[in-house]
């Protein structure tokens, strides 16, 4: 209590000092005392949701410096699941007021912000909206169930028969490059999706070799295609929206739904796809844009079977032998700036076994007539490296017409 009282006295003295000695007709108000929270190491654990009071909107930093700043007297709403807060177990939400630095007022009592921990970790919810997308797929939203509100941050277009995740939609703005980097990785979630299978087991290396051998009718071919961890020649649980595409640790945990993943060759995952992910965050921050991101997958890539024919690669067969959970032909990321009606499609080929442009073209991996990848100087990629996932860029409308996704999205201008 003495420490908190001292903080309050310092805040008052600081405010009086700056008010007395700052010229009136300047921007001196920027020196007024504020609350400043580093989201890496000054948030409560387990972490509550941090919301704009009375809304389902998250309260984010306004810059990319990982500092959540509030003016003195400004309020934010904190929310825990049904277990409540550690200090207030009967409360699911509380509204706290900035006093100074990391000191906040709640119910006329001073606390440091880290005192507002939840009793337990928040677990996200993936719920069907009842709407369809891409003709027969289900539109699903991922967020947090507060009973009276549902703060969401991901929309997923998921095919419940083929197990394809066509696309995932979210937002990027400047603070996204300053994501919370101290959050540990959780396990993957399946929920009540993918009925009849245990998805995590499908990604084990032995199961991949077994499935690919069945598809190609050759264990020898499967063993040559699916390698080991050192070679990165195996299919990983490839995030469509990256874990660090979202800001807070609670949100990052919610990217580990299998609804936000597809089989992705690890050398591509750690290669050009990672370059695309990292560069797009920096691009948006550097230009202070607000964009909608559509990350998606398309088709199934093929491998040569024992008879010399091309066969699509999947990770699962239903009881009737129908192939499900395809290893996509490509992963894509569309950035769309609604203000300027401008966007760009960034595409990576999800087949590290290709060795030539002839294979790229004949295999149907090039999905626009005009590759504009050389015009992009803000992605640090080795885009023509086949073993790291050949990559390119397209104007949005021609690309979407080719793959048949997001027919309602019209992006007439190019974002470069």
pLDDT level of residue 318 (50, 70, 90 thresholds) = confident
Which 3-state string (H, E, C) describes the chain? CHHHHHHHHHHHHHHHHHHHHCCCCCCHHHHCCEEEEECCCCCCCCCCEEECCCCCCECCCCCCCCEEEEECCCEEEEECCCCCECCCCCCCEEEEEEEEECEEEECCEEEEHHHCCECCCCCCEEEEEEEEECCCEEEEEEECCCCCCCCEEEEEEECCCCCCEEEEEEEECHHHHHCCCCCCCCCCECCCCCCCCCHHHHCCHHHHHHHHHHHHCCHHHHHHHCCCCCCCCCEEEEECCCHHHCCCHHHHHHHHEHHHEEEEEHHHHCCHHHHHHHHHHHHHHHCCCCEEEEEEEECCCEEECCCCCEEECEEEECCCCCEEEECCCEEEEEEEECCCCEEEEEEEECCCCCCCHHHHHHCCCCCCCCCCHHHCCCCCCCCCCHHHCCEEEECHHHHHHHHCCCCCCCCCEECC
**pLDDT over threshold 60, residue 30:** no
Mean pLDDT of 388-393: 98
**pLDDT over threshold 60, residue 163:** yes
Which pLDDT score, from 0 to 100, does residue 228 have? Answer: 86
Which pLDDT score, from 0 to 100, does residue 13 have? Answer: 42
Which pLDDT score, from 0 to 100, does residue 27 have? Answer: 36
Which pLDDT score, from 0 to 100, does residue 16 have? Answer: 42
Which pLDDT score, from 0 to 100, does residue 32 have? Answer: 53
Give the whole-number percent of the chain exceeding pLDDT 70.
92
Which pLDDT score, from 0 to 100, does residue 18 have? Answer: 37
Which pLDDT score, from 0 to 100, does residue 321 have? Answer: 84
**pLDDT over threshold 80, residue 106:** yes
pLDDT level of residue 174 (50, 70, 90 thresholds) = very high
**pLDDT over threshold 90, residue 68:** yes
The average confidence (pLDDT) of the chain is 92
Which pLDDT score, from 0 to 100, does residue 281 have? Answer: 96
More confident residue, 32 or 390: 390
For the segment 134-158, what is each residue's pLDDT rounded down to a tens digit? Answer: 999 999 999 999 999 999 999 999 9
**pLDDT over threshold 90, residue 324:** yes
**pLDDT over threshold 60, residue 17:** no
Which pLDDT score, from 0 to 100, does residue 15 have? Answer: 40
pLDDT level of residue 378 (50, 70, 90 thresholds) = very high
Which pLDDT score, from 0 to 100, does residue 373 have? Answer: 97
């Amino acid at each position: 209590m003495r420490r908190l009282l001292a903080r309050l006295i310092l805040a008052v003295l600081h405010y009086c000092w700056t008010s007395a000695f700052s010229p009136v007709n300047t921007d001196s108000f920027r020196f007024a005392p504020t609350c400043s929270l580093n989201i890496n190491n000054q948030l409560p654990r387990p972490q509550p949701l941090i919301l704009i009071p009375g809304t389902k909107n998250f309260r984010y930093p306004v810059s990319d410096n990982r500092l959540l700043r509030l003016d003195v007297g400004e309020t934010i709403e904190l929310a825990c699941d049904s277990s409540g807060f550690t200090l207030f177990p009967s409360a699911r939400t509380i509204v706290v007021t900035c006093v100074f630095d990391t000191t906040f007022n709640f119910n006329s009592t001073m606390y440091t912000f880290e005192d507002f921990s939840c009793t337990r970790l928040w677990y996200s919810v993936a719920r069907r909206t009842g709407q369809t997308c891409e003709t027969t797929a289900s539109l699903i939203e991922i967020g947090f169930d507060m009973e009276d509100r549902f703060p969401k941050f991901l929309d997923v277009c998921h095919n419940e028969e083929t197990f394809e995740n066509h696309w995932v939609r979210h937002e990027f703005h400047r603070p996204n490059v300053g994501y919370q980097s101290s959050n540990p990785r959780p396990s993957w979630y399946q929920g009540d999706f993918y009925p009849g299978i245990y998805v995590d087991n499908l990604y084990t290396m032995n199961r991949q070799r077994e499935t690919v051998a069945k598809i190609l009718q050759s264990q020898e071919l499967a063993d040559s295609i699916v390698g080991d961890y050192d070679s990165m020649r195996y299919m990983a649980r490839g995030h469509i929206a990256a874990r660090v595409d979202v800001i807070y640790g609670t949100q990052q945990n919610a990217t580990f739904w299998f609804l936000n993943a597809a089989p992705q060759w690890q050398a591509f995952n750690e290669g050009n796809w990672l370059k695309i992910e990292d560069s797009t965050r920096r691009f948006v921050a550097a230009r202070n844009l607000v964009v909608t991101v559509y990350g998606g997958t398309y088709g199934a890539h093929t491998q040569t079977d024992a008879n010399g024919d091309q066969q699509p690669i999947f990770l699962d067969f239903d009881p009737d032998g129908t192939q499900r959970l395809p290893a996509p032909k490509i992963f894509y990321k569309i950035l769309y700036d609604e203000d300027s009606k401008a966007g760009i499609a960034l595409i990576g080929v999800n087949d590290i076994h290709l060795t030539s442009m002839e294979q790229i073209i004949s295999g149907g991996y090039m999905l626009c007539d005009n590759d504009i990848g050389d015009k992009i100087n803000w992605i640090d990629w080795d885009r023509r490296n086949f073993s790291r996932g050949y990559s390119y860029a397209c104007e949005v409308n021609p690309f979407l017409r080719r793959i048949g996704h997001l027919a309602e999205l019209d992006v007439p201008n190019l974002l470069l």
